[in-house]
Structure 1
Amino acid sequence: MVKMQTPWKHPDTGTFYYRQRVPVDVAPIVEGQRIDLSIGEERVTASVAKGMVKLSLRTKLVREAKDRHQTVAYALSEAWTRARKAGANGLVDLTHREVLALAGEYYRTVVAAHQDNPGPADGWDASLDPVIAAFDDPVLAERLHGADADLLLRKFGAMISTTSRHALIGEMNRAHLDAVETLKKRASGDYSTDETINRFPLASVAPRDGGEVILLTRLFDHWTSYHLKEGKSQRTVGDFKGKIDSLVSFLGHDEAQRVSQTDIRRWCDHLSLELNLSGKTVSEKYLAAVRSIYRTGLRSGIISVDPTVNVRVKVAKAPSIRSKGFTDEEAIQILKAALSAEHNKSGAAPETKAACKWVPWICAYTGARSGEITQLRKMDVIEQGGVTAIKITPEAGSTKTRKFRIVPLHPHLIEIGLLDWVNSRPDGPLFFVSTGRVRKDGTTQAADVRGKVGQWVREVAGIEDKSLQPNHAWRHRFKTIARTVGIPRDMSDAITGHEDGSASSGYGEYELSTLYKEICKLPRFSV
């Protein structure tokens, strides 16, 4: 994988800059030029001099600088591609016919995206205010249509002059107005022949990337190969596949290169407004999946544009009405019910009943993720230096940090019979009988058991508060109790497998005996 460059910090001002040497074959074409770039909704200009391109990232914040640096790198990569296609002629002046032809392509795209389900006609009237205002405001027009103009120009295969760009943006604004009028007709039930489209000449544009069609399925398969090679969760593969299928269904095609920022934004709006998904789900699940496969393809050189760059979904902050961890009463209620879980008369497998008993208890005293516990094997319960512990390792299944850790067990767990039960089990997984079958949707048996434990907490233990996560709430509670009894944060993180992102946290290890002393600070549950 290609190593991404990093922002350069000005030693005097502290402002971060993007600095890059221009590719040798492109340098003679762009030397001395000012290159217009669309960075999300912002329009910026990069100057080329002495074979270098330099651009202020307009921030002194490291994280923000890294995000903007990556965005600029992608945009410049496209600029170099257009420069190569333009050749020695450099910037191109479009003819009036070419400007209208490209505006027509934009018109067709807008109409095609909405005409099957245009919604109420008066809804389109509400969208016209910024379009009308843009006729007298070039900056607003650029913000409205700049990203889509760049997509059209990539098809055209040229770096156009500023004069031609202004003309194109103006005609795209006019085309957008025409598209709204057409969609209002569709919304009113008029699907007669579109006469407006006849005013636009057909565009004679060359397909980009040598005409090769790159499918989203190919990008997904490529991402999957890297994801699994790095030892990450098979479950994520199945989850991401569903998100990519959603995008393909919405677009009506599977061509990665045809997807624009506008397409991505409209898809996100569709998920939020029509499917009623939360902003958090759209941003952190659907958009994140598509962004991941595009960025992997970009780094590998399969594609040259990431349409998810600078697409953001507003996430409303959920109201906090209670602690995310179990209260003392709720914890006792679950653990008391767990002690008799193995003896209930349900038709669940003995291993599942055992999980309903032991997973809550282990999570309560370790703060571990419930999935880390349900995938434990008999060999993962160990003894070192007289301390009984569990080994949480990627060898057993998915771990969020992809790192192993050894967590000492509280003596109360031993006293209530955990070690005796483990010793009675055959070799292999503790909480299920392995079938060895790879599931198509990427889920695992351990994940199934985790879900069944959560269901048991709701239905049998009686924790019905929907604002609580029935398994993960133990992790929140552990952190709270750890602070109360004075377990240092770094040791609490070492026990629970949290990482703070600092470089120092990757150095050194904690002796098991040291962690055991901290675990013993936890008060016993009286059940």
Structure 2
Amino acid sequence: MALIAQPFRHPDSGIYYLRRVVPEELRPIVGKVEIRRSLRTRDYRQAKSAFAAAYADSERLFQQARQRDRQGTAAGDQTEAVEDSPTQLPIPINTPLTKHAPAAANTLKLSQVFQRYADSLVLANKPEYVHRRHLIDYGRAVERFVEAMGDLRITTIDPIEVQTFATRLSQSKAKGQDKPLATSTVRLTIARLSSILSYAVDSGIIPTNPISSSRLHKRLGSAKPKRRLDDDRGYTWSELVRMFSQPDFAALRHLQGRPGNALFWLPLIAAYTGARREEIAQLYVSDVRQQDNGQWFIRIIDDRPDKSVKTDSSRRDVPLHDDLIALGFLELVKGKQADARVFPQLVKVADGFAGIVSKGWRPLTQRWGIYRQGRNPLHAFRHTFKTLAREVGIPKEVSDWITGHAAENEGDRYGVNPLSRMVEEMQKLPSIAREAGLLT
């Protein structure tokens, strides 16, 4: 797994840091598992410059440690410190010089390889909460393997062991349920385990990835079923109008408690922007912004520990349609502190902020005769937006900017996506709110 070293931005303070894992054989000498030094700036360009100097200091530290290890310097000797600077990284004085004997590759167990994999993630420049979630998810894959097969030495895990594990996993019961694990869960567990084994290959611990060699992914089938032409996962125009014209939908605007008025606003915002449910539910007041020309927009970004985005392209600015403003969306943020949340009644749990909204929206669509098996009632608005955009002639690249779909080539990643162009194209969308009678 190739990771490019770069400054790490603290998710709370915004200050950039150097974070670097100390090689395992040098940890007894350096006295740390990880080097972490503040670059003393919130500006990325300044951080890049300071990072280069800090990285060179850390490399010099490792060289000194290796030299000290080779020479077998007495424990009481002091090692010359690097230059005095904000990124000074001296070797601790009086560090015990017991040589670290790295475990031979043929003795490392899967759990030990996973620990090394976890240590390597600090170089990925991701927020702390992202690392934590990643380790929980991937650690669970390792736990499932250990429960089924034992904590095997990494060199003894071969394609036969992998096939046996997959069979046992598919026959195991889902937590708290009397039914086998879903095929999607089995596939995801295998994929995460494969990432850890690929790290072992990259690190020279094993020559090949036994999961890749087993071709197990072929037997498990594609993660996404083949699309059928009659399988429309979005809503039709008549279904949109029927939903939003229901009297009990209009009453949701004043609903109290959880999910409260989020049950009114999330479907509407999703219909007009194609945004994902969690992108909307996690919004802060500071994410609702206005350009100098008066245009309002929402900023979708993972700049706080309780916010996340699916991909890099998901970080974006999305114009607020005039209908949403006319319906009173800005009243949700009027007079509130910037660090308040737009929907404070939503609490983040295992299925995110918006899980409770999904649970409330499904029975409503069933009551209105719109629910269809296999169609996600909230995510369907994302499909609907893309279909409407095609029907009214919004260019694909603009539609992708609005919905946060990934660029198809390197050239598309250059420059910025002008908000004015998005606003211009969004005017082509028909007025759902007026057609449904929400606006007169």
- TM-score over 0.5 (shorter chain): yes
Are the aligned partners of 2:3 and 2:123 in contact in 1 as well (CA < 8 Å)? Answer: no
Query: Offset at 1:376?
Result: 0.8
Q: In structure 1, give the amino acid aligned to 2:199.
A: T
Indicate which of 277, 287, 298 corresponds to 1:390: 298
Task: Give the Cα separation in 2 of the matches to 1:434 and 1:307.
Answer: 43
Query: Offset at 1:289?
Result: 1.1
Instruction: Work out whether 1:450 is the aligned partner of 2:364.
Output: no
Q: What whole-Å deviation, never above 9, does each CA across 1:138-188 have from its counterpart, x for those lacking one?
A: xxxxxxxxxxxxxxxxxxxxxxxxxxxxxxxxxxxxxxxxxxxxxxxxxxx
Query: Offset at 1:218?
Result: 1.6
Corresponding residue of 2:177:
none
Query: Offset at 1:210?
Result: 6.0
Indicate which of 317, 327, 341 corresponds to 1:406: 317
Query: Offset at 1:355?
Result: 1.7
Equivalent runs, 1:351-500 vs 2, <5 Å: 352-384=259-291, 385-396=293-304, 397-403=307-313, 404-427=315-338, 428-432=340-344, 444-445=348-349, 447-462=351-366, 463-500=370-407
Query: Offset at 1:518?
Result: 0.9
Larger Rg: 1
Query: Offset at 1:277?
Result: 4.4
| Distance change (3 Å), C-alpha of 1:319 and 1:501 | closer
Tell me, what secondary structure is at the counterpart of 1:449?
coil
Are the aligned partners of 2:365 and 2:377 in contact in 1 as well (CA < 8 Å)? Answer: no
Corresponding residue of 1:140:
none
Instruction: Work out whether 1:252 is the aligned partner of 2:162.
Output: no
Task: Give the Cα separation in 1 of the matches to 2:254 and 2:345.
Answer: 19
Equivalent runs, 1:73-88 vs 2, <5 Å: none
Are the aligned partners of 1:374 and 1:447 in contact in 2 as well (CA < 8 Å)? Answer: no
Task: Give the Cα separation in 2 of the matches to 1:267 and 1:460.
Answer: 41
Corresponding residue of 2:162:
264
| Distance change (3 Å), C-alpha of 1:305 and 1:467 | same
Task: Give the Cα separation in 2 of the matches to 1:476 and 1:260.
Answer: 42
Task: Give the Cα separation in 2 of the matches to 1:434 and 1:450.
Answer: 7
Corresponding residue of 1:335:
244
Are the aligned partners of 1:375 and 1:446 in contact in 2 as well (CA < 8 Å)? Answer: no
Q: What whole-Å deviation, never above 9, does each CA across 1:289-320 have from its counterpart, x for those lacking one?
A: 11122223443456554222243233263674
Aligned pair count reads 312
Task: Give the Cα separation in 1 of the matches to 2:406 and 2:345.
Answer: 32
Q: In structure 1, give the amino acid aligned to 2:139.
A: K
| Distance change (3 Å), C-alpha of 1:263 and 1:239 | same
Task: Give the Cα separation in 2 of the matches to 1:498 and 1:359.
Answer: 20
Q: What whole-Å deviation, never above 9, does each CA across 1:333-374 have from its counterpart, x for those lacking one?
A: 4434543224347xx33xx31221211111111111111111
Instruction: Work out whether 1:289 is the aligned partner of 2:192.
Output: yes
Q: What whole-Å deviation, never above 9, does each CA across 1:70-107 have from its counterpart, x for those lacking one?
A: xxxxxxxxxxxxxxxxxxxxxxxxxxxxxxxxxxxxxx
Task: Give the Cα separation in 2 of the matches to 1:230 and 1:304.
Answer: 32
Indicate which of 406, 410, 415 corresponds to 1:508: 415
| Distance change (3 Å), C-alpha of 1:455 and 1:209 | same
Query: Offset at 1:271?
Result: 3.5
Query: Offset at 1:459?
Result: 2.0
> Structure 2: any 5+ residue segments left out of the alignment?
5-102, 174-179
> Structure 1: any 5+ residue segments left out of the alignment?
5-206, 436-443
- RMSD of equivalent CA atoms: 3.1
Task: Give the Cα separation in 2 of the matches to 1:475 and 1:509.
Answer: 23
Are the aligned partners of 2:288 and 2:296 in contact in 1 as well (CA < 8 Å)? Answer: yes
Task: Give the Cα separation in 1 of the matches to 2:120 and 2:261.
Answer: 37
Tell me, what secondary structure is at the counterpart of 2:405?
coil
Task: Give the Cα separation in 1 of the matches to 2:391 and 2:145.
Answer: 47
| Distance change (3 Å), C-alpha of 1:510 and 1:445 | same
Indicate which of 130, 134, 141 corresponds to 1:243: 141
Task: Give the Cα separation in 1 of the matches to 2:201 and 2:397.
Answer: 37
Task: Give the Cα separation in 2 of the matches to 1:226 and 1:464.
Answer: 45
Corresponding residue of 1:299:
202
Are the aligned partners of 2:105 and 2:155 in contact in 1 as well (CA < 8 Å)? Answer: no
Equivalent runs, 1:22-101 vs 2, <5 Å: none
Q: In structure 2, give the amino acid aligned to 1:509.
A: V
Query: Offset at 1:387?
Result: 0.9
Query: Offset at 1:378?
Result: 0.3
Q: In structure 1, give the amino acid aligned to 2:150.
A: G
Query: Offset at 1:235?
Result: 4.2
Tell me, what secondary structure is at the counterpart of 1:423?
coil
| TM-score, length of structure 1 as denominator length | 0.53
Are the aligned partners of 1:458 and 1:470 in contact in 2 as well (CA < 8 Å)? Answer: yes
Are the aligned partners of 1:334 and 1:457 in contact in 2 as well (CA < 8 Å)? Answer: no
- In terms of mean alpha carbon deviation, does 274-283 or 291-300 score higher? 274-283
Are the aligned partners of 1:383 and 1:389 in contact in 2 as well (CA < 8 Å)? Answer: yes
Instruction: Work out whether 1:211 is the aligned partner of 2:211.
Output: no
Tell me, what secondary structure is at the counterpart of 1:242?
helix
Equivalent runs, 1:179-198 vs 2, <5 Å: none
Corresponding residue of 2:26:
none
